[in-house]
Amino acid sequence: MFLIPDPVVRFFHRMASPPHFYALTERLMPWLVVIFLLLTAAGLYGGLYLAPSDYQQGDSYRIIYIHVPSAWMSLFIYVVMAVAGAIGLVWRIKLAEIVAISSAPVGASFTFIALVTGSLWGKPMWGTWWVWDARLTSELILLFLYLGVIGLYGAIDDKRTASRAVAILALVGVVNIPIIHYSVEWWNTLHQGPTVTKMDKPSIHVSMLIPLLLMALSFKFYYLIALLQRARTELLLRERNAQWVKNMISEAK
Amino acid sequence: MLIGLMVLGAGLATAFALKSFNENLMYFFSTTDVVEGKAPKDTLFRLGGMVIKGSVERPNDGMTVRFKLTDFSKDVTVEYTGILPDLFREGQGIVAHGKLNEQGVFIAEEVLAKHDENYMPPEVKDSLKKQPASVEGSKSSVTIGE
């Protein structure tokens, strides 16, 4: 509290207030959508048209522009979900609980996309749709963790209790995140080692790297849009008896 | 406090599980393991290595392929009957699933190509080839983060 400047503290306090969050995200949404569309257009044009084909895999490698950003997002969203869950658990902030549970379906979708595109890529390159190596198996476990979070939340009627249970499950599952990332270094896997996220300089040509990073950024914005939309719906559902929701409805009439 | 204990417990459980599953998680054995007799006898296992340049031959002109695998220290001869993946070529890393026969030849039932983490346009690859000891040597130095 002593190190954080006052306006920042005030910003977070206001963001934690449901009516303020609802109004702000409504004004923010068109901008986010525009940025997302521009980034996706630039990333896809760069990746599918401008980037050269690979010396070994030809044009097949271009699935990297979906596969790798999805896989990154599957890990990133899980960490966001666990951190938001922990904040909700400790400080009982309603919005943190909502961010945690709203992240789960988005993260599960990205995990699913990463698994499916990886499978489609594996068949022509490796010669198989699926192998039980450490990278593929740990990513599949991540999908089950996401589904577990969604299922557990749906199984408990009291949503505040459900959020606490989900936060604990998400926190326990965090052990899987470093396992996924380092699986290709700790064990002999069919999946190759990291290309971009390593200490060395990336072993991908810069003309192929730029569209990849654009796609990664565009996926981040997609997550933000999907997360905010889900959070707004969840918020309305939970606060349906609150005065600010009633005011908003009567104003709309 | 309770949560901290739970996370700690889950961490420990995972650590033990990983330790005991370590051999299963090792997706393949190296050729040195096979030559030194560390690989299982009479059961199926996976063998990984690089196809030695110039070692690929088709003895009966049919579907059977014979080639030598190496991990840059010991070699193992592999025999395979069937369709090879697109990325199979000399100098490429592969993983074969099968077992050893009495002569120490690995009879593969399945051959998978393992591609590396390098992506570049063909022109760059060609220009790298002209400078010796660059990408060609990188296959053996895949260990990252030293």
Its domain, for residue B123, covers 23-138
Q: Are A215 and A43 in contact (CB under 8 A)?
A: yes
Q: Are B111 and B88 in contact (CB under 8 A)?
A: yes
What pLDDT, on a 0 to 100 scale, did the predictor assign at position A190?
Answer: 82
Is A124 in contact with B85 (Cβ distance < 8 A)? yes
Q: Mind telling me how many Å the CA of B10 is from chain A's nearest CA?
A: 6
pTM of the model: 0.81
ipTM of this complex:
0.70
CA distance A33 to A229: 12
Write the CB contacts of B62 (distance below 8 Å, at least 6 apart in sequence). B81
Residue B29 resides in a domain: yes
Average pLDDT of the segment spanning B63-69: 87
pLDDT for A74-126, tens place per residue? 999 999 999 999 999 998 888 999 999 999 999 999 999 999 999 999 888 88
How far is CA A131 from each of CA A25, A116, A139, B27, B28, rounded to the nearest angstrom?
A: 43, 13, 12, 9, 12
Token pair, residue B61, equals 């002109």
For strand B93-100 and strand B75-81, is the pairing parallel, antiparallel, or unpaired? Answer: unpaired
Number of domains, chain B: 1
- Count of A-B CB contacts under 8 Å: 122
Residue B38 resides in a domain: yes
Instruction: Supply the CATH number for residue B36's domain.
Output: 2.40.50.140
What pLDDT, on a 0 to 100 scale, did the predictor assign at position B28?
Answer: 80
Phi, psi (degrees; rounded to nearest 5) at A130? -150, 140
Residue B15 resides in a domain: no
| A chain contacts of residue B38, beta-carbon cutoff 8 Å | none
Q: Mind telling me how many Å the CA of B135 is from chain A's nearest CA?
A: 10
Residue B70 resides in a domain: yes
CA distance A154 to A162: 8
Residue B68 resides in a domain: yes
Residue B88 resides in a domain: yes
What pLDDT, on a 0 to 100 scale, did the predictor assign at position B3?
Answer: 66
| B chain contacts of residue A125, beta-carbon cutoff 8 Å | 85-87, 113, 115
Residue B33 resides in a domain: yes
* Continuous H helices in chain B: 2-25, 31-35, 122-130
Residue B117 resides in a domain: yes
Is B27 in contact with A131 (Cβ distance < 8 A)? yes
Q: Domain spanning A34-228 has what CATH number?
A: 1.20.120
